[in-house]
Structures are given as structure tokens and as C-alpha cells.
Amino acid sequence: QVQLVESGGGLVQPGGSLRLSCAASGFTLDRYAIGWFRQAPGKERERLSCISSSGGYTHYADSVKGRFTISRDTAKNTVYLQMNSLKPEDTGVYYCATYRGGLACPTTNLYANWGQGTQVTVSS
């Protein structure tokens, strides 16, 4: 069965960095696009980034462009989100999710399987 487990969250000071991991099981990354999402307090869930099933296409929200980088390690069947220059507004629960369809990396919320989330808090 498809399963995702996020890890790597924690408390970090503004300007700091974290690397989140999304460990996949029950499928291989070459058949699914993976998106990273954030649920901030009092706000709707936001898509931050996506990587296509081929690994050849990525997308970033304007709010994280230039600061966050999505990548994958096919040998470990894991997707990463490197987060640099973190801001207090980056605080929230971070989720990864799968998409399997004809689009390389959809901008709409078509993701079917979700992990449990990992908390990121950016504060002094």
C-alpha cells in the first residue's frame, strides 16, 4: 500500500535551515509526482513545491522560490525539501503527498495519498 512518512521538522531560528524528508513505501517514485504542502495556523493548505515522476520537472510557490529546494534519492525512495533562510511565516505543519496521472506536476490539488505531517516552527 502507498505510504508516506515525513520527518525532519523542529524548532529553528529565523534565517536558519531544515531538511525535511518524505520516505515512500508501497510504490516507486518513478510512477508518482510528489508535492510538499504547508498548513499554517489560520490559513488554507498551500502547495509549496512538486517534483515530477521523472524527476525532470519541479515547481515552487512564489513564497518559497529561491529559498526551498525539492530533490529525490531514488535509491532510498525518498523525497527531500531543503529549506533555507527560514522566516516566521514558514511556521506550520508540512506534508508530502502523491499524484499519479497524466500531468507532470500539477498546480491544482490532485494529490491522493498524504503523510502524517511534520511540525516546523520558526521563532526566536
Q: For the segment 21-53, what is each residue's pLDDT rounded down to a tens digit?
A: 999 999 999 999 999 999 998 999 999 999 999
pLDDT reading at 15 higher than 80: yes
100/75 Cα distance (integer angstroms): 20
pLDDT reading at 63 higher than 90: yes
Q: pLDDT tier at 107 (50, 70, 90 boundaries)?
A: confident
Nearest one of 36, 95, 32, 88 to 61, comparing CA atoms: 36
The pairing of beta strand 78-83 with beta strand 68-73: antiparallel
Distances (CA, A) of 54 to 23, 34, 58, 103: 17, 11, 10, 11
The pLDDT assigned to 4 comes to 97
Dihedrals phi, psi of 4, to nearest 5 degrees: -130, 140
Dihedrals phi, psi of 30, to nearest 5 degrees: -70, -5
Integer-rounded Cα radius of gyration of the chain: 13
The amino acid at 79: V
pLDDT reading at 10 higher than 90: yes
pLDDT reading at 108 higher than 90: no
Distance of alpha carbon 44 from the chain centroid = 16
The pLDDT assigned to 49 comes to 97
Q: pLDDT tier at 58 (50, 70, 90 boundaries)?
A: very high
H or E stretch including 15? none
